[in-house]
Amino acid sequence: MVRGHNLDNRWVVPYNPYLLKRYNCHINFEICSSITAVKYLYKYIYKGHDRVAINIRDEGSPSTVDEIKNFRDALWVSAPEAIWRIYSFKLSKIYPSVVPIHVHLPNKQLVTYCKNKDLRCLLDEDNLSHTMLTEFFKRNLYDNNARNMLYREFPENYVWDEKARHWHERKNKRAVGRVVAVSASEGERYYLRLLLSHVRGPTSFNDLLMVDGNSCSSFRDSAIKRGLIENDNAIFLCLQEATLYEMPFILRRLFATLLAFCEPVDVGLLWKTFFKPMSEDFLCHISLSQEECVSATLVDIKCFLESMGKTIDDYDLPSISFVVNSSQIPRDILEEMAIITPTEDVQSINSLNLEQKNAFEKIISSVNSAKHVAFFIDGPGGTGKTFLYRAILAHIRSRKDIAIATATSDVAASLLPGGRTAHSRFKIPLEVNHSSVCGIRKQSGLSQLIQLAKLIIWDEAPMSKRLAIEALDRTLQDIMENNLPFGGKVMVFGGDFRQVLPVVRKARRTQLVDACLVRSYLWPNMEKIILKENMRAKKDQDFCSFLLQIGDGVGSETEKNIIQIPKEMLVPYIEENLSKEMLINVIFPKLDELSEDPIYITERALLSTRNSYVDELNDTIINKFPGIAIVYHSFDNAVDENNTNYQSEILNAMTPNGLPPYKLILKNNCPVMLLRNLDPANGLCNGTRLICQSFQKNVIHAKITSGQYVGREVLLPRIPMFPAENDGFPFKFKRKQFPIRLSFAMTINKAQGQTIPYVGIYLPENVFSHGQLYVALSRGISKSTTKVLIKPNSECTIPGCTKNVVFREIYEDMN
C-alpha cells in the first residue's frame, strides 16, 4: 500500500540506475535478445541526427497545431538514440576504442585542406595521398604478420598515426576496426569493400583484381570470379557446368529443380540452349523422331516438376505433342501403381522374426477380410518396424493392390518405397485444430486412390500431433461416406513413444503431452502390436536392455533423472578440445586412409544436442579430412528492407535454423545432408545424406547414401532459402546457397530412424527434451561401437553421468 493505493508489479518500470546517472536522462531498460538486437543497433543509427519538433506561431493566431504529426516527427529521436548510446557505451567497455577505417577507390582519396592553402603546394604534399587503405597495402608488402589479416582486423594489431599517415604496431590498449558502411548503390566502392572483407593481405588495388592469375576489369568482376556475389548468369552457368557430366537424366532433374526453385527469367532460352544435352539419351534412340525426343524430354521434366509440386504449363516451354499417357486413370493412382517393389523386400517376408511374423499375419488377414482395424505397432528403436512395413507393402503391392506408405518425417518416409510425408500425402493443414479436415476434394484423383487403397501406413505417428491424425480420421470418414474410424480403412500406425515427440513451439510439458496421440479419442480403439526384440543391436543383448532402461526412464525418478553411462561406452572428459579430438578419432579412425571408402563414411556419425555444437564438430573434421577444400560463399540479402542498412557482414554472420552456412567448406568424398525437400518422390528430401563427388562453381555433383535411392547421382544447384516464419527475424532474410551442410556430425533429432553402426554422442550440455538421449543411443548397434563424451556440469558432477529426460506420464496413458 502506497498512499492508499494497492501497488503491484505493474507499477514498476524496469530501469538501470547506473545508466540513468551516467546519461542523466530517462532510459527504460529492456532486454533486447535474439536477432532483434541487430535491427536496433544497426538500423536506427543510420537514420539521422537528433530532431525536435518546434512550432512557432503568433500568439494571436488560431491554434492549428497537428499534435499527431509533431509527435510522429519527433518520435524516433529518443528510443534509437538511447539504444545507440548504450551500445557505444557497452562496446567502449569491451573494446576501449572502435576505429572507423575508410575505403576509397584508386586515386579517389578524400583530401582535407585549409581553404586558404595554395593548391600547388598541396599537390606537392606526397603524404596527403597516403590513406589507411594505401598504407595497409604497403604494410602487407613487407610485414608477414600483417599479411594474415583482413582490413577490418588491422586496427587490432596496428595503430593509425594520423600525423605521420602510416600504421605502426599496436603496443597496448585493445581496439577493433569497423570498415565504414558503403551502400550497394555506390557500385565499385561497394565491391571493393566486399573484397577487402574477404581477401587477406592484399598488396594493392591491382592485387585485389587478380583472380587465378588473370586480372579482372573491375572489382565487381573480381568479386564474381571469387564467388562473393552472384553472377547475373548463375542459372545458365549452372546448367552449362552440369552438361560437363553428360548425364541427360540427371540434367533434366536439375533443369526442373532450377525452374521450381530459382525462378529463371527466360525459360524459353534455357530450353533452347540445353535441349540437346538434356535429351541426348533419347536422341541416340534410332527409333525416335526429333519431335518424339522433344516430347519425351518434356514429359520427364513435367514429371519432375509435378513431384516438386509445380506444373509444366506455368513455364514457357513447348507443348507436349505426343501424349504418352492417354488413359483416364488419375495420376495419383498411376504413380502409386508404378512404384517398384524391391525384390529384397519381397524376400524379407521369409526372414521376419516371430513377433514381426505375427504382426504381419494379423495385418494381412485384416486386409484380406476388409476388417476395419487401426493397428499401432509399438516397438523400441531397432525392433524392425520399418523392416515390417516394407514386408507388408511388398506383399500387398505384389498382388497389384494399393498400399499407401507415409511417415511423419521426410527421412522416415524416404525409407519406405513410394513413401511420402503424411502431411503432403493427405494434404493435412499446417495449423490443425479440433475440427480441421484435410484438403482433399472428393472428386479428386487422390480421393479415388484412398478409396481403392487396401491399407494405409503412417510411421513415426508418435511424432505427429494427435490433431493431425484426427483430421485424417474425419477426412477418411467423409471420403468413404461412413462413420467408421478412419472411414473403415485398415490403418497401420507405428512408432516409439520413447523417441522424440511432436514439436510444439514454446509448449510446456503438459501441453506437449496433450498433443500426443495417446491423448486422442482414437487411441483406446487402436489394436496394439508390441515388438520387443531389438534387431539392430541383436548381437549385444546387454546394450539392448540398457537402451530400454534409458527409454523407459527406469530409476530416473529417485535419482533426479541422472543416469550413469557404462564405462566401456565413455570417452573420458579431460579438457574440451582434447576430449572432442579423442571422440572424433574413435569414431573416424584412419580418416586419412579411408576417406574415399563410402561405406566407411556412411556408417559413422557424431550426434549432439544443438546445431552450434554440430557445426563445431563438422568444422574440425573437415579440416582433418584429406583433400583440397572448396569454399562456397552464400549470397545474402534482406529482401523486404526499404533502406538496405544491413551490411553484408552482418547478414553473413547469421546461420538461422535449417539454413546452410554462409561459408560452406567441402572436400571430395565428404558427407553432406540435404536441407530442403528438393524432390522427395525421387529421394531428395530434407535430411537425405549424400557424398560429394565433384565441384563446379555453380553446381555440385553428389551421390545419395541414405533411403531407398542409395547410389543415385544428383546435381545440386544453389537455391534461395528463407528462415522459418516463426524464427523471429525482424526482416525477410534470403540466403542463396547450396541446400546442404556437412554431416560428419548432426543433431540428435535429425538422426531419428537411422542406423549408425559407429556413433559418437557429444553432450557438452544435458539433453533437454523427452527421448533425446534414447534416440541418440539407440542409433548404435553395440556398446563397443557407441561412444559418449559428457562434459560435467552442475547437475551432473560425477564423471560419466548425464541427465535423461523422460515424460513417464505418456507411458501411463498408453496402457
Ligand X SMILES: Nc1ncnc2c1ncn2[C@@H]1O[C@H](COP(=O)(O)OP(=O)(O)OP(=O)(O)O)[C@@H](O)[C@H]1O
* Integer Cα distance of 656 and 646 in angstroms: 16
The residue among 601 and 670 lying less far from ligand X, judged by its C-beta, is 601
Give the range of 302-310, 379-387, 611-619, 651-659 binding ligand X by CB under 6 A.
379-387
H/E element, 562 = strand 562-564
> Of these, 193, 385, 395, 604, which contacts ligand X (CB under 6 A)?
385
The residue among 140 and 534 lying less far from ligand X, judged by its C-beta, is 534
The residue among 714 and 756 lying less far from ligand X, judged by its C-beta, is 756
Q: What are the two backbone dihedrals, phi and then psi, of residue 431, each rounded to the nearest 5 degrees? A: -100, 115
Q: Are 723 and 708 in contact (CB under 8 A)?
A: no
776 contacts ligand X (rule: CB under 6 A): no
3-class SS shares of the chain: helix, strand, coil, % to 5 = 40, 15, 45
DSSP-derived pairing of the beta strands 403-407 and 420-421: parallel
H/E element, 721 = strand 719-721
User: How many chain residues touch ligand X (CB under 6 A)?
Assistant: 18
Q: How many CA atoms lie within 13 A of 413 on its CB side?
A: 29
717 contacts ligand X (rule: CB under 6 A): no
The residue among 382 and 800 lying less far from ligand X, judged by its C-beta, is 382
> Of these, 279, 356, 436, 602, which contacts ligand X (CB under 6 A)?
356
Give the range of 161-169, 173-181, 262-270, 351-359 binding ligand X by CB under 6 A.
351-359
Give the range of 56-64, 66-74, 232-240, 383-391 binding ligand X by CB under 6 A.
383-391
> Of these, 151, 236, 255, 387, which contacts ligand X (CB under 6 A)?
387
Q: For 610-633, what is the HEC assignment?
A: CHHHHHHHHHHHHHHCCCCCEEEE
Q: Are 793 and 576 in contact (CB under 8 A)?
A: no
Give the range of 40-48, 85-93, 346-354, 430-438 binding ligand X by CB under 6 A.
346-354
* Integer Cα distance of 311 and 260 in angstroms: 9
Residue number with the smallest Cβ distance to ligand X: 384
383 contacts ligand X (rule: CB under 6 A): yes
Closest CA to 677 of 410, 429, 335, 464: 410
The residue among 387 and 635 lying less far from ligand X, judged by its C-beta, is 387
750 contacts ligand X (rule: CB under 6 A): no
CB atoms within 10 A of CB 302: 20
Q: What are the two backbone dihedrals, phi and then psi, of residue 528, each rounded to the nearest 5 degrees? A: -90, 135
> Of these, 155, 202, 382, 680, which contacts ligand X (CB under 6 A)?
382
CB of 229 to ligand X, least distance (A): 43
> Of these, 177, 227, 384, 764, which contacts ligand X (CB under 6 A)?
384
Q: Are 408 and 458 in contact (CB under 8 A)?
A: yes
CB of 383 to ligand X, least distance (A): 5
688 contacts ligand X (rule: CB under 6 A): no
379 contacts ligand X (rule: CB under 6 A): yes
462 contacts ligand X (rule: CB under 6 A): no
496 contacts ligand X (rule: CB under 6 A): yes
CB of 701 to ligand X, least distance (A): 28
> Of these, 134, 203, 240, 353, which contacts ligand X (CB under 6 A)?
353
CB atoms within 10 A of CB 641: 15
743 contacts ligand X (rule: CB under 6 A): no
Kindly tell me the burial class for residue 48, based on how many C-beta atoms sit within 10 Å of its own C-beta (0-12, 13-18, 19 or more): exposed
**What single DSSP character describes residue 2?**
B
CB atoms within 10 A of CB 374: 22
Give the range of 348-356, 445-453, 510-518, 762-770 binding ligand X by CB under 6 A.
348-356
Report the chain's terminal Cα–Cα distance, integer Å: 53
Q: x/- contact string, 510-549, with ligand X (CB under 6 A)?
A: -------------------------xx-------------
* Integer Cα distance of 93 and 85 in angstroms: 12
Look-up of cell digits 474425419: 474
345 contacts ligand X (rule: CB under 6 A): no
H/E element, 576 = helix 576-587
Give the range of 30-38, 93-101, 375-383, 804-812 binding ligand X by CB under 6 A.
375-383
* Integer Cα distance of 331 and 344 in angstroms: 27
> Of these, 109, 204, 747, 755, which contacts ligand X (CB under 6 A)?
755
623 contacts ligand X (rule: CB under 6 A): no
771 contacts ligand X (rule: CB under 6 A): no
378 contacts ligand X (rule: CB under 6 A): no
- Position 737, amino acid: Q
417 contacts ligand X (rule: CB under 6 A): no
Q: For 136-152, what is the HEC assignment?
A: HHHHHHHCCCHHHCCHH
386 contacts ligand X (rule: CB under 6 A): yes
351 contacts ligand X (rule: CB under 6 A): yes
Q: Are 196 and 150 in contact (CB under 8 A)?
A: yes
> Of these, 661, 753, 780, 800, which contacts ligand X (CB under 6 A)?
753
The residue among 410 and 496 lying less far from ligand X, judged by its C-beta, is 496
Closest CA to 608 of 746, 498, 800: 746
Q: Which residues bind ligand X (CB under 6 A)?
A: 351-353, 356, 379, 381-387, 496, 535-536, 753, 755, 778
